Structure 1
Amino acid sequence: MIKKISMTVLALFLLLPSWSQAGSFGKGDPSGVPGQWYVGTTPSYVAPSKHPILFVHGLNSSSNTWWNENNMYDTAYQNGYETAFIDLYPTKNMWDNGALLSQKIRDIYNYYGEKVVVVAHSKGGIDTQSALVHYGAYPYVARVITLSTPHYGSQLADLAYSSWAGWLTGILGSKNDATYSLQTGYMSYFRSETDPHPNVNRNPIYTFGGTKWGSFGSSLYWGGLYLRAYGSNDGAVTVSSSRLPYGTELRVGDWNHFTIKEGSSTFNLFKNYLNEATNTSEFNAQSVVESNDAENAASFVRGGEFNGKKQEKVVVEEEAQSVTFDWISNSPSSQLILKDPGQKANFIFKVKKDESEYFNGAYHHTVTVQDPTPGEWTIEASSSSAEKYLLNVSFESSMNDALSIHVAQDEFSLKAKDSQLRFKTVMTIEYYKDGKLKKSKVKTKNDSLKLPKLGEGVYNVTIDIEGSKDKNTIQRTFIKTIYVDDSGKIYGQ
């Protein structure tokens, strides 16, 4: 099915420098060199009304994501569409990728002699919008279709840069320009630069979102569990983040972050938007499928490094219907023992390697306990070598709605819905200055945190809470990010 470009086309590449960066499919996959683009086999019949499709990959990915264990390319071919695929920088931000993609879109436009429709997965949609709006590629694109693009960032990127997760994500290589830019605070800044731009309305955008994150132990399960506090999600991106107020939402369905980009899942749903005759009069329509966007306090987070033995204690409140312990480590052979308040230890952890975007290569050691005994639970870990870990404890409990964080200008404030709930907080702020990570614990006053004036950058705030009501203790962690520009203006929610 994957064929080389004809010798005639190859000869044209030699004659026309603007096409010289195009490659051809060989026996193996493309090399993944940023800026290299590829042309799919031309179908036997291509209707004049069909736009060519340019497929753009997402974070930590490459062009082969569209055909390796994915029938998207084959589905497009069988439906008579010409296709092109591009490799961008897998770990760079939307500015670097937007500039690169803008140049290559022009080349692809010249190759086909007509506008293309961009189909982008995940961060590829942000890179695409950057290319169109900020780097002038809009004349060469008919419209854009985004598949689970985090238009407002992902709270998993916030987690990756948090004070508790930094030990693990540092060794995994998850800390990079791309992940940094996907923090919700920075994406709020990107939206402020993009949405009012005069070029933003030149290309209609159509969006898809997913609500499924797989069964227990699957690669996206833990991400979905963490994001559950922020609304419906596909294991990596929330439905609310997949939307744009000036875009047209085509569908929210039961796809996870991987299946949403498969041809058998979504191609027939956006096929009618690949043609020249597509009616774009509904371009400015608002999204019509509502989701729960309210954030609640559903997680307790810890992390660090150890060599030998480590113990973590977690308080489970009486109201908890279930609790999931997820020990995320750089080692698959972590020896873990979970003990309930009565010191019983008959719990079995399921081990799964992470293949998602933000903690790729880590190992999840996960167990869910239904109707857990209230009180102090203990995880005992042992390792024969140095180990970095992140412990995420997810609660299903009525107490999840008892606390909330509010951000107003340069202040974070903690609110309790129940007047009888008493709590204490520890807030940690992390930021980068001159390329170095700075971290400090910040004193709170009246359950509020006033941000210090630290200049331009992303501020990642970890807020650990211990509350009590009627001698019943709860523990939770909030992780929030904001972006401060060079004039001191703050972006984020």
Structure 2
Amino acid sequence: MFKKISMTILALFLFLPSWSQAGSFGNEDPSGVPGQWYVGTTPSYVAPSKQPILFVHGLNSSSNTWWNDNNMYDTAYQNGYETAFIDLYPTKNMWDNGALLAQKIREIYNYYGEKVVVVAHSKGGIDTQSALVHYGAFPYVSRVITLSTPHHGSQLADLAYSSWAGWLAGILGSKNDATYSLQTGYMAYFRSETDQHVNVNKNPIYTFGGTKWGGFGSSLYWGGLYLWGYGSNDGAVTVNSSRLPYATELRVGDWNHFTIKEGSSTFNLFRDYLNESTVNSSGEKVQIQSSEQSTSFNTYAASYVRGGETNGKKQEKVLVEEGADSVTFDWISNCSSSRITLQDPKQTIHSSFKVKKDEGEYFNGAYHYTLTIPNPIPGEWTLQSSSSNSEKYLMNVSFESTVNDAVKVNVDEDEISFKKQDSKIKLQKETTIEYYKNGKLKESKLKLKDGTLKLPKLGEGVYNVTIDIDAEKDKKRFKRTLIKTIYVDSTGKVFVQ
């Protein structure tokens, strides 16, 4: 049994739960209407110390993410907790969702007559913090637990708005207010507006992060490969992005972005933080306080990216340096029937690509054609796509190689600079940078001077910066792509992660 509650109507939906399970929401549940919230079945006994749990979903999701193919709702019920679930806008930013969530949190507080604990997955953690800090919902919440929330944005959102991926992301519908706001540059702005706010410490925050990518060929596996150069990740969010310097990190574990929200994965790890008088497993009271955690962001050159559109045939040349341990080719397309072949420098053809449809947050609906080559032959490889129809595509080539950390790129308010890890690194003249604002080219092929580029004067907006690196180490030439975003506010102040 559960209750569905809207602003003006209180309706009760009855199902037939078994003796051991919470009320079933089932396939007939009309979840997904922004602003509606649901009350789970009340356990037979609820201890006075157990506060109700409000579950908040993430990007491109809805409330049923907590019970469809997920035992989180049932696990909470079995542990004697009252539960509520909210539907937010799946593709709107943290400001729109924050305002809506703040209003509904007040209603939920009035329904229960006490504060709730918020458990939020992915972007839901950002929407929650927006509701508490910027829209005044903090008096109605005791604490917040975030499960792989990209508190500092996602480099996959940066990629979706890049010059290389924009063709594909646009046709898939991945470009929306939510993904736009999750670009790392914009999230640097959100952090500046939030982390110094007078309300920021009103509610303790506890975080979880994941380090597993999912099965080979899955959207999370591909996402993990791309994010690899940015640090440990769960296929969608890096561990560093899941952290806040004033929050308490409860655990980083081998969950992917989907399994981290499952009841059997994490509930027992945050259960001790759900009660009014929070205690640990040994019966000692847990002091609710902040703890410092590292949120340093490293960027390694581990990928080579290209993309665009073609009328049916396309070739891409990829340079593989000597000494690379492995290279993974991932051709991402809006076509399910493309024929992909790969030719190595010795003219051998490789065609055993694994094909899988993307079910992730940023390129949902695209098709991945993925192939890993261990100990690849150095030289120029040729990837060719043939399709009977026009095709939008993104090619991401991920390298496992000692040169991945040869060059680091720093972006600050004044300039973009390349930091060479040793004196043997040589940047070629072909190294270039492009600026895009909202998908439109602003500056093209800007040249470096002594490894540094002074930022031009930029108007308000989010700027996607694509950096194509052509370099050499120990006479081994390599090419990589780095993608960053910068946000410029109305005063001209620059925000960057």
Q: Calculate the TM-score normalised by the size of structure 1.
A: 0.93
Distance 1:389 1:422 in 2: 31
Going from structure 1 to structure 2, the CA distance change for 1:215 and 1:256 (only over 3 Å counts) comes to same
| Cα offset, 1:451, TM superposition | 2.5
2:338 is the alignment partner of 1:349: no
Distance 1:237 1:4 in 2: 32
| Cα offset, 1:280, TM superposition | 6.0
2:377 is the alignment partner of 1:388: no
Residues 255-274 of structure 1 aligned to structure 2 (within 5 Å): 255-274=255-274
Residues 5-404 of structure 1 aligned to structure 2 (within 5 Å): 5=3, 20=9, 24=13, 28-278=28-278, 281-287=287-293, 293-404=297-408
Which digits, 9 at most, give the CA deviation of each residue in 1:43-101, with x for residues without a partner?
Answer: 11111111011000000000000001000001111111111101000000000000000
Going from structure 1 to structure 2, the CA distance change for 1:353 and 1:23 (only over 3 Å counts) comes to farther
Query: Which ranges of structure 1 fall in alignment gaps of 5 or more residues?
Result: none
Distance 1:20 1:135 in 2: 24
Distance 1:31 1:428 in 2: 42
Q: Which moved more, 1:254-263 or 1:405-414?
A: 405-414
| Cα offset, 1:489, TM superposition | 0.8
Q: Which amino acid aligns with 2:493?
A: K
Structure 2 residue corresponding to 1:448, chosen from 443, 448, 452: 452
| Cα offset, 1:36, TM superposition | 0.8
Where 1:384 maps in the other structure, the secondary structure is coil
Going from structure 1 to structure 2, the CA distance change for 1:470 and 1:281 (only over 3 Å counts) comes to closer
Q: Which amino acid aligns with 2:412?
A: A
| Cα offset, 1:134, TM superposition | 0.2
Going from structure 1 to structure 2, the CA distance change for 1:439 and 1:350 (only over 3 Å counts) comes to farther
Q: Which amino acid aligns with 1:42?
A: T
* Cα contact 1:302–1:390 (8 A) shared by 2: yes
| Cα offset, 1:415, TM superposition | 2.6
| Cα offset, 1:359, TM superposition | 1.0
* Cα contact 2:432–2:448 (8 A) shared by 1: no
Going from structure 1 to structure 2, the CA distance change for 1:439 and 1:351 (only over 3 Å counts) comes to farther
Query: Which ranges of structure 2 fall in alignment gaps of 5 or more residues?
Result: 14-24, 279-284
Where 1:380 maps in the other structure, the secondary structure is strand
Q: Which amino acid aligns with 1:444?
A: K
Q: Which amino acid aligns with 1:415?
A: K
Distance 1:184 1:293 in 2: 11
Going from structure 1 to structure 2, the CA distance change for 1:153 and 1:210 (only over 3 Å counts) comes to same
CA-based RMSD of the aligned residues comes to 1.8
Which digits, 9 at most, give the CA deviation of each residue in 1:204-223, with x for residues without a partner?
Answer: 10000001112321231010
Going from structure 1 to structure 2, the CA distance change for 1:402 and 1:73 (only over 3 Å counts) comes to same
Going from structure 1 to structure 2, the CA distance change for 1:291 and 1:27 (only over 3 Å counts) comes to closer
Distance 1:294 1:26 in 2: 43
Q: Which amino acid aligns with 1:431?
A: K
Aligned residue in 1 for 2:476 = 472
Where 2:142 maps in the other structure, the secondary structure is strand
Q: Which amino acid aligns with 2:479?
A: Q
Where 1:186 maps in the other structure, the secondary structure is helix
Going from structure 1 to structure 2, the CA distance change for 1:99 and 1:340 (only over 3 Å counts) comes to same
Which digits, 9 at most, give the CA deviation of each residue in 1:221-278, with x for residues without a partner?
Answer: 0101111111111000011111111111111110000000000000011111111111
| Cα offset, 1:141, TM superposition | 0.4
Which digits, 9 at most, give the CA deviation of each residue in 1:355-391, with x for residues without a partner?
Answer: 1111111111000000000000000110000110000
Where 2:188 maps in the other structure, the secondary structure is helix
Q: Calculate the TM-score normalised by the size of structure 2.
A: 0.93
**Number of aligned positions between the proteins:** 477
Where 1:443 maps in the other structure, the secondary structure is strand
| Cα offset, 1:294, TM superposition | 2.6
Q: Which amino acid aligns with 1:193?
A: E
| Cα offset, 1:168, TM superposition | 0.4
Distance 2:10 2:487 in 1: 36
Distance 1:350 1:255 in 2: 23
* Cα contact 1:72–1:263 (8 A) shared by 2: yes
Aligned residue in 2 for 1:485 = 489
Q: Which amino acid aligns with 1:285?
A: S
Distance 1:318 1:192 in 2: 43
Identity of aligned residues (%): 73
Structure 2 residue corresponding to 1:427, chosen from 421, 425, 433: 433
* Cα contact 1:22–1:37 (8 A) shared by 2: no
Where 2:174 maps in the other structure, the secondary structure is coil
* Cα contact 1:23–1:39 (8 A) shared by 2: no
Distance 1:23 1:462 in 2: 52
| Cα offset, 1:202, TM superposition | 0.6
Distance 1:166 1:22 in 2: 43
Where 2:325 maps in the other structure, the secondary structure is strand
Distance 1:325 1:20 in 2: 52
Going from structure 1 to structure 2, the CA distance change for 1:73 and 1:454 (only over 3 Å counts) comes to same
Distance 1:22 1:241 in 2: 39
Going from structure 1 to structure 2, the CA distance change for 1:27 and 1:152 (only over 3 Å counts) comes to closer
Where 1:149 maps in the other structure, the secondary structure is coil
Distance 2:441 2:90 in 1: 26
Going from structure 1 to structure 2, the CA distance change for 1:96 and 1:269 (only over 3 Å counts) comes to same
Q: Which amino acid aligns with 2:9?
A: S
Which digits, 9 at most, give the CA deviation of each residue in 1:289-312, with x for residues without a partner?
Answer: x79853211000000000121000
* Cα contact 2:160–2:362 (8 A) shared by 1: yes
Where 2:273 maps in the other structure, the secondary structure is helix
